[in-house]
Amino acid sequence: MEKKVKTIGVLSSGGDAPGMNAAIRAVVRTAISKGLHVMGIRRGYNGLLAGDMFEMNLRSVSDILHRGGTILYTARCPEFVTDEGVTKGRDMCLEMGIDGLVVIGGDGSFRGARDLSLKGIPCIGVTGTIDNDIASSEYTVGFDTALNTVVDMVDRLRDTSQSHDRCTVVEVMGRRCGDIALHAGIACGATSILVPEIPFDLDRDVIAKMNRTIRTGKQHFIIMVAEGVGGVEEMAKYIEEKSGVETRATILGHVQRGGSPSARDRIVASEMGHHAVELLKEGIGNRVVIYRASKVVDMDILEALNMKREFDEKLYEIANEISI
Ligand code: ADP
Ligand code: F6P
């Protein structure tokens, strides 16, 4: 017979993302309304191992829905990648009476959740990463806010780029995933979009395109580059040399991770947090809450982690075709 779930824990882990607070709020409120106790664990798996946690109530999550970052703080925890670390985490859950855990983060955090589930503590993963890089989910909490921040920043860059007849090479976040670059590239009318998923040639895909466009009268350019491609300073020098257009590089950096979450991120995070608690309440663990066909559903963590992420090549082609 399944053990009755009385107390659950919640933590945020890995890089923070706008909307994590909305997910925490939904977890706490859903759990309390279902008669459960909730322990808020600080700084991801670090807090779990150190027993750094506190009981949350309805008011612990007041006034956080609109705030970026995470009130539970977040961290990376190398110890949790070891078997001893996960065993220690399991023992801490038993000691603190935690019968299940909601882990808000990305794929790395979900690996930890899977390991802890296999040691007998049911865990549910909730997506929280600006990168949109979780293969099993069509959407990750934080992506929409980050994207809108990028669009706002690049619109500003475009103003100055246009006034000076310049080319601006912009680096946006995404180490292995070009989704921010692709979507922001379309939304900002970038001349070229360079992502780690698609091989490119600077002469063919940037310089030749700029030259064609110059002939039609355009004299300022945005080149959108994903962090995983890197090298934007050198790229800017090369573009200036080859095209004759004065070029600057801008790395947007961590500004993309902050700020008040968009309505979309607040709503998806709330749905996902709620769904996670419904599963835990039934004693179900080892699942990730994902977005599929515009619905919040769940699937086995291991199956989810084994999925290969597909880059939207069709959207990339569209971007290419309309950026002339
Ligand atoms: P994200 O969750 O955003 O992908 P990370 O990859 O940095 O972020 O992972 C966050 C944390 O998840 C790590 O610091 C570690 O504590 C835990 N983690 C990552 N990979 C594993 C793993 N293979 N096994 C157990 N825990 C892991
Ligand atoms: O995973 C989110 C992310 O913002 C990536 O886009 C980026 O590569 C990384 O985290 C940066 O991590 P850190 O905050 O450790 O510099």
Question: Encoding tokens for residue 75?
Answer: 């961290």
- Indicate whether 21 and 148 sit together in one domain: no
**What's the pLDDT tens digit per position in 141-174?**
999 999 999 999 999 999 999 999 999 999 999 9
Does one domain contain both 132 and 149? Answer: no
pLDDT score of 324 more than 90: no
Question: What's the average model confidence in pLDDT over 233-249?
Answer: 98
Do residues 166 and 203 both lie within one domain?
yes
**DSSP string for 52-115:** -EEEE-GGGGTT-TT--S-TT-----GGGGSHHHHHHHHHHHHHHT--EEEEEE-HHHHHHHHH
Q: Are residues 73 and 164 in the same domain?
A: no
In the predicted structure, residue 126 carries a pLDDT above the cut 50:
yes
Is there a single domain that holds both residue 14 and residue 129?
Answer: yes
The mean pLDDT of 295-317, rounded to a whole number, is 97
Place of tokens 């009476």: 97
What average pLDDT does the structure give for the chain? 97
Which pLDDT score, from 0 to 100, does residue 310 have?
93
Domain that holds residue 100: 7-142+261-306
pLDDT tens digits for range 59-77? 999 999 999 999 999 999 9
Residues 114 and 175 reside in one and the same domain? no
Q: Is the pLDDT of residue 2 over 70?
A: no
Query: 3-class secondary structure for 129-193?
Result: CCCCCCCCCCCCCCHHHHHHHHHHHHHHHHHHHHHCCCEEEEEECCCCCCHHHHHHHHHCCCCEE
Instruction: Give the model's pLDDT for residue 61.
Output: 98
Q: What is the pTM of this model?
A: 0.97
Contact 130, 19 (CB under 8 A): no
Cβ–ligand 1 distance for 142 under 6 Å, the answer no
Which ligand 1 atom is nearest residue 131's CA?
A: 3
- What percentage of residues in the chain have a pLDDT greater than 70? 99
**What is the average pLDDT across 248-274?**
98
- The pLDDT-based confidence of 187 (bands split at 50, 70, 90) is very high
Residue 318 inside a domain? The answer is no
* 195 and 298 together in one domain: no
- Is ligand 1 within 6 A of the CB of residue 14? yes
Q: Probe ligand 2: pick from 73, 257, 309, max atoms within 8 Å of CB?
A: 257
**In angstroms, how far is CA 177 from the centroid of its own chain?**
10
Shared domain for 138 and 14, answered yes or no, is yes
Same structural domain for residues 13 and 135? Answer: yes
Atom 15 of ligand 2: nearest residue by CA position: 15
pLDDT digits (tens, 9 = 90+) for 263-288: 999 999 999 999 999 999 999 999 99
- Residue 4 pLDDT class (50, 70, 90 cuts): confident
Tokens of 173: 């976040």
Count the domains in the chain. Answer: 2
Q: Is the CB of 45 under 6 A from ligand 1?
A: yes
Residue 241 sits in the same domain as residue 299: no
Using CA positions, which residue lies closest to atom 12 of ligand 1? 109
Distance of alpha carbon 288 from alpha carbon 307, whole angstroms: 13
Q: Are both 245 and 290 inside the same structural domain? A: no
